[in-house]
């Protein structure tokens, strides 16, 4: 099962029997069997015929709408599974301050450990490593130790923020100066690296939201991320451990191996989007992201409850299912980490 990305502006997706066809003006750009589709992501001005919408709803093929710059706009989704018992348990755990804190600590610890692993991995593979990278690794060790000593989620959020700042302080040293990456910024991202990070995180949220809904959770009730109108807080909780591995490391590679270069970006007069990524650049980055999601890694439950190789997409789903078991039994959640 695959994700179909449609980036061609002015395109329309039509239904042709059991296939979806992408048209632009009077030309068919391509078609794909619906049986092979997991979901669809469209960016910008892309339309759907009414028969196509009906077939997508019937086949439970979700559609995510992003702006041309990759910001989330909304989703088209069929009937959602009603796992009432799981959702009631989820709400009770959220009201249990001790359990919610332990869950939030697991999210932050997993994220910071994987941040450390990314810096260590790239440091090992380079002859000349900036001192900032080693300093960031040492700082992350300190913040990882502090996670378990927190007694409130508000103080845990402070530790997570400090750890992330230390991490990005080292991460910037892994990019050549031409990329002009000095720190993490968003809304709007002001340099090419931050444009890619924001787009990558949006794609990761989209993938994780599908897993969360498939398991039966309420995606808006989180533990680390508190309630906020129309924010999928539980999804944001679960992606924390995967951000460094699936997005940050991918952006480093794309900016280092030639898949993307500075000429793929251009300045804009729009203050909401000061840096624009070209359509061809988006296609190459999306392709790299999908390739990354298909990469296999070892998961403790990857082989019917035993360690085994699974794709990153399956890894995310297994983590969502592990969280469901933890919520139902009261056991602790274990974030997925790498070395």
- What is the per-residue DSSP string for 137-172? HHHHHHHHHHHTT--SHHHHHHHHHHHHHHHHHHHG
pLDDT, residue 82, reads 65
Q: Are 170 and 119 in contact (CB under 8 A)?
A: yes
CATH 1.10.10.60 fits 84-329, yes or no: no
Binding residues for Mn(2+): 160, 225, 240
pLDDT, residue 198, reads 94
Tokens 């983590």 map to which residue? Answer: 319
Residue in 102, 96, 143, 97 with CA at minimum distance from that of residue 119: 143
pLDDT, residue 1, reads 66
d(C-alpha 300, C-alpha 215), whole Å: 18
Residue in 195, 193, 194 with CA at minimum distance from that of residue 175: 193
Largest CA distance in the chain: 63
- List the pLDDT tens digit at each of the 339 positions of the chain: 678 888 888 999 999 888 899 998 888 888 899 888 888 888 888 999 999 999 999 888 888 888 887 778 888 887 766 689 999 999 999 999 999 999 999 999 999 999 999 999 988 877 777 788 899 999 999 999 999 999 999 999 999 999 999 999 999 988 888 888 888 888 888 889 999 999 999 999 989 998 898 888 999 999 999 877 778 999 999 999 999 999 999 999 999 998 999 899 898 888 888 888 998 999 999 999 999 999 999 998 887 778 889 999 889 999 999 999 999 999 999 999 997
Query: Where along the chain do its domains lie?
Result: 2-76, 84-329
pLDDT, residue 118, reads 95
Q: Is the pTM of this model over 0.95?
A: no
pLDDT, residue 39, reads 83
- Options 3.100.10.20, 3.10.20.30, 3.40.50.720, 3.40.640.10; CATH for 2-76 is 3.100.10.20
Q: Are 245 and 118 in contact (CB under 8 A)?
A: yes
Binding residues: 160, 225, 240
């Amino acid at each position: 099962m695959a994700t179909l990305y449609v980036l061609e502006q002015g395109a329309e997706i039509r239904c042709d029997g059991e296939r979806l066809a992408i048209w632009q003006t009077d030309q068919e750009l391509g078609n794909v069997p619906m049986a092979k589709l997991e979901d669809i992501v469209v960016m910008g001005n892309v339309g759907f015929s009414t028969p196509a919408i009906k077939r997508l709803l019937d086949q439970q093929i979700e559609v995510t709408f992003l702006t041309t710059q990759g910001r989330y706009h909304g989703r088209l989704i069929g009937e959602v599974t009603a796992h009432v018992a799981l959702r009631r348990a989820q709400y009770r755990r959220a009201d249990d301050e001790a359990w919610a804190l332990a869950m939030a600590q697991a999210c932050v610890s997993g994220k910071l450990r994987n941040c450390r692993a990314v810096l260590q991995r790239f440091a090992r593979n380079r002859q000349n490593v900036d001192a900032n990278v080693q300093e960031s690794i040492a700082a992350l060790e300190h913040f990882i130790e502090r996670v378990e000593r927190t007694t409130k989620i508000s103080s845990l959020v402070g530790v997570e923020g400090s750890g992330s700042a230390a991490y990005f302080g080292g991460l910037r040293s892994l990019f050549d100066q031409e990329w002009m990456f000095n720190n993490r910024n968003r809304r709007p991202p002001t340099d090419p690296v931050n444009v890619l990070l924001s787009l990558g995180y949006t794609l990761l949220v989209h993938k994780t939201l599908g897993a969360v809904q498939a398991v039966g959770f309420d995606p808006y009730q989180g533990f680390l991320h508190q309630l906020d109108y129309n924010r999928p807080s539980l999804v944001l909780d679960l992606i924390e451990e995967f951000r460094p591995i699936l997005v940050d490391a991918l952006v480093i590679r794309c900016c280092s191996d030639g898949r993307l270069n500075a000429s793929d970006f251009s300045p804009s007069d729009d203050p909401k989007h000061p840096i624009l990524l070209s359509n061809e650049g988006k296609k190459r980055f999306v392709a790299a992201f999908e390739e990354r999601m298909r990469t296999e890694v070892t998961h403790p439950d990857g082989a019917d409850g035993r360690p085994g190789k699974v794709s990153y997409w399956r890894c995310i789903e297994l983590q969502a299912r592990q969280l469901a078991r933890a919520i139902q039994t009261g056991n602790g959640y274990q974030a997925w980490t790498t070395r």
